[in-house]
Each structure stands twice: as C-alpha cells, then as structure tokens.
Amino acid sequence: TGAGVSAESGVPTFRGAGGYWRMWKASDLASPEAFRRNPSRVWEFYHYRRELMLKTQPNEAHIAIAECEHRLEQQGRRVAVITQNIDELHKRAGSKNIIEVHGSLFKTRCIRCFDVQDNMDSPICPALEGKGEPDPTVSDAKIPESDLPRCKRPRCNGLVRPHVVWFGESLETFTMMKARE
C-alpha cells in the first residue's frame, strides 16, 4: 500500500497539495542533510505529523485489509501487508504481519548508538509540546539540540531521529528481504 490508502483517513500525501509544511516542501525536511542543519525544524515537522496521526483513525480500506489478513490466515494462508506508509494505521486497524518499507513515525533511531525504539509519547519530548504548527507565519521554535528527543538507553543519551527512510538514504536490506519473501 501507499499514500492513497491513508489519504481517505485525512492523512496529507507527502508530495500532493498537503506536501508543504510552513514554507518548506516536505521532501526538503526529510533528509539527513536537513536534520544535520536544523534538527529542531525537522523534529517540529515530524512532531506535527505524529500528533496528527495520533488523532487519525484507520479507514475502511485499512479495516478491510486487516479483515482479509485475518480471514486468510484462518485458512492457513500467510498474508503480509507491505506498505510505504509510516503512519501505523494498518497496525491500528488490526493487521499483524506488516512490513513498513519506509519505517514508522512512531519509532526513533539514535544517531549515536543506532538503537531503534517504539515511541508513542505525546509529545515526544517536553520541548516539542505545542510546537510544529504548519502555519507559514509561525516561526521555528529553535529548540536547543539538548532538549530534543534523546536515546533512552543507559549511558547513551544521544539525539534520536524519526526511524523513517529519508531522501538520499537506502531502504533497509532486512526489510526488503522480508518484503521479497
């Protein structure tokens, strides 16, 4: 599945009319370079998307796919939902065997130790509470890096980033192997 299945839930598509946040194209905020330049701005963008997704419900397509998966598995057939979407709406609809090719808004990855963690915190960190307004007249929060989401592993405390595939990055080999299976 791709953006079309989630669009019915009100999820803005990455490249469509809803593909802008403030004055930036979403694709300009979804890169390692953008994160190195301004992690605060990138985290505001992703925080806004996370908060939006926490209020969004799976639609009839997500539910139908989950029901199909369940029904076919009762017949002994293995079903996998392979999605480019990072919104976890398939999971919330009840799908179990999901391969998220582009990652998830609700996982973080430490840029120091590379640990990946599930994270449904709202807000993801105190400094982002109330931040991320998409209105182009709103200024960047300019949150100090030390106040942005941090790794929770003991003795690490590294800066974390969304565990999503950004422009200029390769898809994860293991994920692609699972999808091919």
Active-site positions? 102
Strands (E), 26-180: 81-83, 98-100, 103-110, 116-118, 160-164
- Cα–Cα dist 105/101, whole Å: 12
- Cα–Cα dist 92/157, whole Å: 30
- Cα–Cα dist 62/9, whole Å: 9
Report yes or no: 79 and 73 within 8 Å, Cβ to Cβ.
yes
Helix (H) or strand (E) holding 8: none
Q: Which amino acid, one-letter code, is at 56?
A: T
| DSSP label of 25 | E
- Cα–Cα dist 45/170, whole Å: 21
Token pair of 169, please? 């990055």
